[in-house]
Amino acid sequence: MYTRLGILHMAINILTGFFISQVFISKSKVRTYTTSYNISHSFISLCLSLTQSQYTSSFTNTNMALNLKTLVNHAVHAPLSSSRQLFHGVSPKPTSIAFSHSSSSSPQGFGTQITTQRKEPLSNQQTAAVRHLTGSLITNEGLRFAVVVARFNEIVTRPLLEGALETFNRYSVKEEDVDVVWVPGSFEIGVVADRLGKSRKYHAVICIGAVIRGDTTHYDAVANSAASGVLSASLNSGVPCIFGVLTCENMEQAMDRAGGKSGNKGAEAALTAIEMASLFEHHLK
């Protein structure tokens, strides 16, 4: 009996010293966790009660588990100002504490287990229900396209049209599935694109034109009208209308974008049309 009492008193001293203070030093950042006198005193009192109850059988496993849970909760939820001091603004990550009581034939007071589990942020949890919808440049069988081309600045718009047709051919769009409609200028593109979209004959409409700044404000009026006209045609008809109208400061900029060093914007418009038509046909129908 005295041997068991001695072992239990030794455990009391060790655990009391552990709860009084801990100092962790890592990479020149110091965290000091100091429990209050009330916590250590409560822990000693509880252990002494456990010692007496070993031989009086007046303390049950359930009561000891509840007391230990209350003590640990008091230690965990103690105010920061009295129980721990933080340096350099570093605080530990939140953890959850779970208690489980074992009904096996273990000594009294040792049937309660304390486990900690770190919670993962919600931002790191993946959602399996998310679907990503995108158009395809390959599955274009049965898709039909219309190309509205402005005749004004034809030296620019014709290379843009050729780039679009070459791209259609490269991605296996049949020639009979593409119709080209010529209009006088970029200002007239919007109304024609709207009519083509509402005809329900085409899955996408490409709008090609070139507006180059001159000496007057005519450039601003035509450029803005062309952009808003194509947007309105797309929204009103429900058919993707691709904006392929160049708005450049000079002719050099326009030629650079019509097959020059900046690529061919007509070809880029054709790629956009194929992808959008596929998206609408296969996912947004």
| Contact (Cβ atoms closer than 8 angstroms) between residue 180 and residue 281 | no
Distances (CA, A) of 20 to 12, 178, 227: 12, 82, 73
Q: Annotated catalytic, 218?
A: yes
| Contact (Cβ atoms closer than 8 angstroms) between residue 226 and residue 194 | no
DSSP 8-class letter at 88: T
Tokens 């965290």 label which residue? 31
Distances (CA, A) of 272 to 231, 243, 255: 15, 10, 21
Q: Residues near 22 by Cβ (< 8 Å), separated by ≥ 6?
A: 32, 33
| Contact (Cβ atoms closer than 8 angstroms) between residue 173 and residue 246 | no
Q: Collapse the DSSP code of 103 into the 3-class scheme (helix H, G, I; strand E, B; otherwise coil) and give the result.
A: coil
Catalytic position from the list 9, 41, 74, 218: 218
Q: State the pairing for strand pair 29-34/84-86.
A: antiparallel
| Contact (Cβ atoms closer than 8 angstroms) between residue 153 and residue 210 | yes
Tell me which residues are annotated as active site: 218
